[in-house]
Amino acid sequence: MFKYFFISIFLGYHHPHHHHAASASAAAAYYNAAARGIPVVQKRPRQGRRAKKKRDPNEPQKPVSAYALFFRDMQAGIKARNPNASFGEVSKHVASMWDNLNPDHKAAYKKRTENAKKEYLKQLAAYRANLVSKSHGGGSDPYGPYGSITSYYGSFASRYD
């Protein structure tokens, strides 16, 4: 045991449960291992959370799932019968109801979701087309602030007359 302790110190290995002079010995172990050519893995500095991208309020919202539609329909009734039930308890109850739901009723919810998704994709295409037209000079004037290309060059010619 004693022999293995000295070998581990020599190799720069420290058992996670042994608390020696951690900062000094860890630094020494790093430099000793690096000097002997032993690859040393350094911890990367922790990165903070990425800033959440601001959502455009005009962008159409994604449709909810079939289960979410079912949840919305059932939640009020369950909450009325059990006013003291927590959200977790209501969720468990709705989940068990969804699992035992008749396949025909589930299909109706799935159909509503598919229709909502089709409508969403249409709205999204229109929204993105509108964004593209805004980014290219508003779409109404394809030549920009000068009108046609000849009027663009004409604006320079007037300077030299």
pLDDT band, residue 152 (cuts 50/70/90): low
pLDDT at residue 157, rounded to an integer: 54
| Six-digit token string for 18 | 């042994």
* Residue found by looking up tokens 């299909």 in the block: 107
d(CA 150, CA 161): 16
Render pLDDT for 39-74 as a digit per residue (tens, 0 to 9). Answer: 666 677 777 777 777 888 888 899 999 999 999 999
Average pLDDT of the residues in 134-161: 56
Domain ranges for the chain: 66-135
Rounded CA separation 43/79 (Å): 49
Q: Which residue has the tokens 């396949």?
A: 103
Sign of the Cα torsion 144, 149, 151, 155 reads: positive
Q: Is the pLDDT of residue 138 over 60?
A: no
Report the pLDDT value the prediction gives residue 31, as an integer from 0 to 100: 63
At 120 the pLDDT is: 94
Domain boundaries 66-135, corresponding CATH code: 1.10.30
Give CA 135 to chain center in angstroms. Answer: 25
